[in-house]
Amino acid sequence: MNGGIDPITLAVLAGRMEQIADEMDATLFRSAFNPIIAEAHDASHGLYHAETGDTLVQGKSGLPIFVGVMSFAVKAVIEKVAQSGDLQDGDIFIFNDAHIGGTHLNDMRLVRPYFHDGALFCWLASVGHWHDLGGGAPGNYNPAAKDAFQEAFVLPPVRLARAGQINQDIIDILMRNTRLPQSAEGDLNGQLGALDLGVRRMDELLGAYSAPTVSAALDALSQRAETLMRQELSDLPDGRWEAEDWLDNDGITDDPLPIRVAIEIAGDRMVLDFEGTAPRCQGPVNIALPTAVATAYVAIKHIFPALPANAGVMRPIDVRIPEGSLLAADFPAPVGGYTETILRMIDVIFSAMAKAAPDRVVANAYGTINALSIAGRRANGQPWVMFSFYGGGHGGSVETDGLNHGNAPISTATIPPLEILEAAYPVMFRQWALRPDSAGAGQHRGGHGAIYEIEVLEENGAEAFLFGERGKAPPQGVAGGGPAALNCFARETDEGWVNPPMVSKMRGIELRQGQRVRLETPGGGGYGPPEDRDPAAVARDVARGLLSTSEADRLYGTAWQGARP
């Protein structure tokens, strides 16, 4: 028995509630206007505790980073309601303030109370990455931003609806502060539709099971998540392990920024201490405290994949974020490039954990989403903004080579297909291919990165903005594995191809019709000593064109040359 509820009923209710969140995800993905939500699934939905805002259930198709972050968003709304003392059935709150709700300003959050028999039962929430919300760079990944106001329009938690009545004034303000109002309004309507669906499905659930039974199930699921986490930690050795990695720069000053972590395990508890991480910086690689805590949760979920998406998982874990660091930046510090920083946090957690339990982790993935925005105006004056992120190699593991050309480990999103991007925007992909010699060497090598080459077709030309990382410090291997290739960006000029002065970040890239930009993304780090790799596997990579003969000899010696691929 679990808190008075039998195991079969608990399993059924857990599945029903997960299905509600999954169906909310699907509703938005099918109705959103912009490809970042519709194709890449940069969104999420969930159910949250009525009093604490803790995550109860989250959809499996959205971004894992939102599991922890959206709890902070719901808590912000709970605090606002506590101050005003006013909450009605049918209220909907909306905001994008990243310092309160985490991530960055593109992520628009909608939070709605769910009432049953006149009492607040739980909260429903939706978050989606809107294409553009003003600011100094189309698409809002402004690598030169020095405060949040240079990144995008900032909206604190406000009521979009009161007792079911939409406040059109809020929508008018939002639509006036975006370069792409049609896209924004379509995404907003999709999120509202997902919340409506969530209310209907909760009505059906509580019509089939009593409110006390469902509440008991939610409590039992949280307790079970905590128990499972404590069991997992108890199976690991006690000790302290450290790791360090770097961000290239902050986009303003070209100095590397360290990210450090120490993992301590004692019995059924764990501490993640980020003391020694760089202080808050001028540029937009800062992140807010909610984002840092949520990132630790994402890393834990990767290390312990069988655990449920529930706040109970984090109860035995103490995440220590140093005050004044770039992992706990206060408003209005710029945080637009949060993706790059949380990826490095995950990398150092994996690298430290590899010293305690190497079979639990994979080597570093490629470590950057390479946020590239290309924008301009068509011949009829209509603005267009192509924002997308790009893939790379994942790290090798104890079992196998890393995934080639995957998406970042902060998400289950997909990379928008080139056919979708070419159909929507005046561009052509001249290359979309795996990048040879980009994988870290190891007993199980890392996955390979990719090469993307994009040509501007619009006669008016375009302007591009790049926000990337891993141009100076490559993705690391673990358990004796080697590092992967560095990130490389180039743009075509009248004088030929050139690289950005800050390697991985640049704004104001002017492109004429017919000119191109090129991304060569990193692979993943290797797992295990390269000398332990099967020579036939090396020969196979050479035969497939993934590894040059010279690199094969350098990384693995010459024993592979006599092997059959």
For 327-338, the pLDDT digits (tens) are 999 999 999 999
Looking at residue 303, the DSSP 8-state letter turns out to be H
Query: Tell me, what amino acid is at 514?
Result: G
pLDDT of residue 1: 39
Output the pLDDT for position 411.
Answer: 65
Whether the CA torsion 90, 36, 473, 409 is positive or negative: it is positive
Residue 303's pLDDT is 93
Q: Whole-angstrom Cα distance, residue 507 to residue 414?
A: 25
Gap between the Cα atoms of 457 and 289, Å rounded: 42
DSSP 8-state symbol, 10: H
| pLDDT for position 412 | 63
Strand 269-273 to 317-320 pairing = parallel
What's the pLDDT at 185?
A: 96
Quote the percentage of the chain above a pLDDT of 70: 99
Distance CA 263, CA 229 (A): 16
pLDDT of 2 reads 47
Q: How far apart are CA 78 and CA 98, in angstroms?
A: 16
The CA angle 348-351-353, to the nearest 5 degrees, is: 105
Provide DSSP, 56-101. Answer: EEE-SSS-THHHHHHHHHHHHHHHHHHHHT---TT-EEEE--HHHH
Q: Which two tokens stand for residue 500?
A: 């950005």
DSSP 176: H
- Give pLDDT tens digits along the chain (565 positions): 344 688 899 999 999 999 999 999 999 999 999 888 988 888 999 999 999 998 888 887 777 778 778 999 999 999 999 998 889 999 999 999 999 988 999 999 999 999 999 999 999 999 999 999 999 888 888 888 999 999 999 999 999 999 999 999 999 999 999 999 999 999 999 999 999 999 999 999 999 999 999 999 999 988 999 999 999 999 999 999 999 999 999 999 999 999 999 999 999 999 999 999 999 999 999 999 999 999 998 899 889 988 887 888 889 999 999 999 999 999 999 999 999 999 999 999 999 999 999 999 999 999 999 999 999 999 999 999 998 889 999 999 999 999 999 988 776 667 888 999 999 999 999 999 999 999 999 999 999 999 999 999 999 999 999 999 999 999 999 999 999 999 999 999 999 999 999 999 999 999 999 999 999 999 999 999 999 999 999 999 999 999 999 999 999 998 898 888 8
How many angstroms separate the CA atoms of 333 and 283, rounded? 8
**Domain locations in the chain?**
7-226, 362-533
| Dist. CA 17–CA 12, nearest whole Å | 9
pTM exceeds cut of 0.75: yes
Q: Which two tokens mark 420? A: 């979708």
Q: How far apart are CA 493 and CA 512, in angstroms?
A: 9
Distance CA 346, CA 300 (A): 9
pLDDT digits (tens, 9 = 90+) for 11-59: 999 999 999 999 999 999 999 998 889 888 889 999 999 999 988 888 8
The closest alpha carbon to 447, from 481, 490, 491, 421, belongs to 481
CA distance 322 to 324: 6
Q: Taking the CB of residue 543, how many other CB atoms lie within 10 A of it?
A: 11
Phi/psi region, residue 251 (left: phi>0; alpha: psi -120 to 50; beta: rest), is: left
Environment class of 564 (CB within 10 Å of its CB; exposed 0-12, middle 13-18, buried 19+): exposed
Residue pointed to by tokens 């922890």? 68
| E strand or H helix that includes residue 246 | strand 239-247
pLDDT for 138 equals 87
Residues 257, 142: Cα–Cα separation, whole Å: 18
Contact 339, 369 (CB under 8 A): yes
Model pLDDT, residue 241: 98
Compute CA 246 distance to the chain's CA centroid, rounded to the nearest angstrom.
18
CA distance readout (Å), 85 to 79, 80, 88, 363, 538: 10, 8, 10, 49, 66
